Structure formats: structure tokens, C-alpha cells
Amino acid sequence: MRVATAYGISLRGKQEIRRRSIALVAAAAGSTAAVMLLFYAFGRIGAEVLPQGRKAAVTEGASAKIGGERQKEEIKEEIRKEASGREISAAETKRWEMADAQSLRLHGTAAFLMPQIELKTMYLTFDDGPSGENTDKILDVLRERGIRATFFVIGEYVEKFPDTARRIVEEGHTIGIHCYVHDYATLYASPQAYIADFEKAHKTIYEVTGVEATLFRFPGGSVTNHSRGVCGDIVSELESRGFVYFDWNASLEDTVGSKTPEELIACALESVKDRERVVLLAHDRLKTTAECMEELLDALSSYRMEPLNAGIKPVQFRRFWENG
């Protein structure tokens, strides 16, 4: 039995495809061997659908005896109709139409279930928070959308806004370490200075939220003029303790100049470049970042949104200290 997943079927669409599939397969298999094909899926954001960003439910089906080309073509046509209403690519639709060709050839049976559709994955990450207002606005939007993100927080702001820090954790987001005080000159004065600040931030996050944070992000990223001389030693020490650092491969550019929400979204889309796997940098202390969040998520709706965790292969800038 094949397990398949699908994204974006409306509630009405689920009911209709279920009804038609049962009817078609029953007709093809005959009255003595009627087989049910059940299609379950999460839908898109809206009144009739579930929040985007959640994983689609598992679809299960059983192979059915296909009697004659007409019945097979009818099932394929139903698949084409469903695909046409979903903004699914022609290539993906063709995969559906082919269905289980090998099984059909070898065994004379075919499931004709939609194969798994892998959405591109985006990890929304926010640095420099929490703040007293803008972080909460962003959290409101994420909660409404059913999306979880990652927040690399500053220790002194965790102490200043403990309720918001706890809310990040309580609502299922990943909380990571940015620093205790965001001061490049102090942080990168030596490996020992950085690690002392790091340990203080780690302790603060644990005391306020109860989380032993394992992920971190260098202020400014792992490769900057500030960190270049000490980054290798810092990474070596912290990775030996089990910590994992993440850089990014796309950005809102929300700390560069003074941009409108529309300009931030344009920057994000330009830097994302339709990658299959994106770690997007943003800053939750900024008002314009909070203001653009609804429209940003709409613009990035082709991505499945997930929080970072230590099991994910990290996105990192070139580790120059290892490769010269």
C-alpha cells in the first residue's frame, strides 16, 4: 500500500475526489471487489481550509483491479481535474497521471493515488528580540497562520521582556542564542569574551523559559570583519559542547537602510531565488518587519514553514578557518 501526501485540497475538493474515486474504482473492480480510495489533505488558508504551513495529512489507498483502458482514463481524468484547481505544475500532474505504472504492468493493478508532493521548505528566523511590541505582533500572525519559526534572542532583552520570551516557547517556536549584549567590539575581542557572553545568554534563556537552547547565531553572521580572527576557535569550542550555529541564505535586509514593508518583501523574494531550502533572516524588533509579516507570508505561500532544530543540516557561510 502506498502512502501519499498532498497539499492544498479544499474541503469541498476532498469530498468530491473521495466520492468520485470510490465510484470509479468500484466500477472498475466490479461488485465483488469494490475498493475504497480515501483522500485526506490539509487545505490552504481561508474559511474552508486549514492553515498553510501544517503538514498535509497522510493519504492511504489500496490497489484496485483495473478493467479496461476506459476506466483507467477516467481515473486519470479525475486526477487532472483535481490538479488543475490546485495550481500544481504540469510535471507534477503528469506524475499523478502515470500513477503506479510499474504495479499496473507487473500485477495488472494500479492504485492511482497522488504521489507525495514535496513543498519547498523555509525556516523563518528572527534575530535581536524579543521586543515589547513588535515581537508579539509577529507571534500573533504566526499563531493565526499555524506557522512556527525560530527566534535567536538577546539575553538582556529576554530579561526585559520575559513574558514574550516565554510566549515564543509556549507557542512552539524554537528559541536560540544570539548573544547577551549585542556589541561587536566586546563580543569579538577574543574567543573567551564571546564564550563568556554566550554562557550568560544561555543561562538567562534557561532561567526565563526553562529551555536549554542548543542553536545559536553569531551577531552579524559567522563571517564578518569583526569575527574573522576568532570565529574558528569559537566554533570549535561550542560545537564540542553540542551547540549548532546557523547563518542564512536569504534576507529581508530589514536592518539595511530605511525600507517600507513593500520593499522588505521585494528584498526577501529577490534573495530567496526560488531555492528549495531557505533560511530567511529577519529582525523582530523592527516595526516595518512586523507590519509586512502578513503580506510576506502570502508572497511565500509556496513554501512549507518549519522551525529549525539541531537535527537539520545547518546553513552556514564558508568555514574559511577549515579550508584556508
Measured CA to CA, the distance from residue 280 to residue 273 in angstroms comes to: 12
- CA torsion through residues 141, 144, 146, 148, sign: positive
Report CA-CA distances (Å) from 95 to 23, 100, 264: 22, 9, 36
pLDDT of residue 83: 58
- Residue 191: phi, psi to the nearest 5? -55, -40
- For 3, the 3-state DSSP assignment is strand
What are the residue boundaries of the structural domains of the chain, listed by start? 3-110, 120-323
- Percentage of the chain beyond pLDDT 90 is 59
Enclosing H/E stretch for 178? strand 174-179
Please calculate the CA angle 187-156-175 and round it to the nearest 5 degrees.
90
Please check whether residue 74 is in contact with residue 24, taking contact to mean a CB–CB distance below 8 angstroms: yes
Q: Which residue has the higher pLDDT, 20 or 48?
A: 20
Residue 264 grid coordinates: 522588505
216-265 pLDDT per residue, tens: 999 999 999 999 899 999 999 999 999 999 999 999 999 998 899 999 99
27-67 pLDDT per residue, tens: 444 433 333 333 333 333 333 333 333 333 333 333 444 45
Question: Which residue from 140, 236, 238, 224 is spatially nearest to 195, judged by alpha carbons?
Answer: 238
Residue located via cell numbers 549584549 = 181
105, burial (CB in 10 Å: exposed 0-12, middle 13-18, buried 19+) = exposed
85-136 pLDDT per residue, tens: 555 555 445 544 444 343 344 334 443 444 444 569 999 999 999 998 999 9
- For 28, the 3-state DSSP assignment is helix
pLDDT of residue 274: 83
71-92 pLDDT per residue, tens: 666 666 766 666 565 555 554 4
For domain 120-323, the CATH superfamily is Glycoside hydrolase/deacetylase (3.20.20.370)
274-301 pLDDT per residue, tens: 899 999 999 999 999 999 999 999 999 9
pLDDT of residue 64: 40
Q: Give every CB contact of residue 89 below 8 A, 6+ residues apart in sequence.
A: none
Please calculate the CA angle 277-230-248 and round it to the nearest 5 degrees.
15
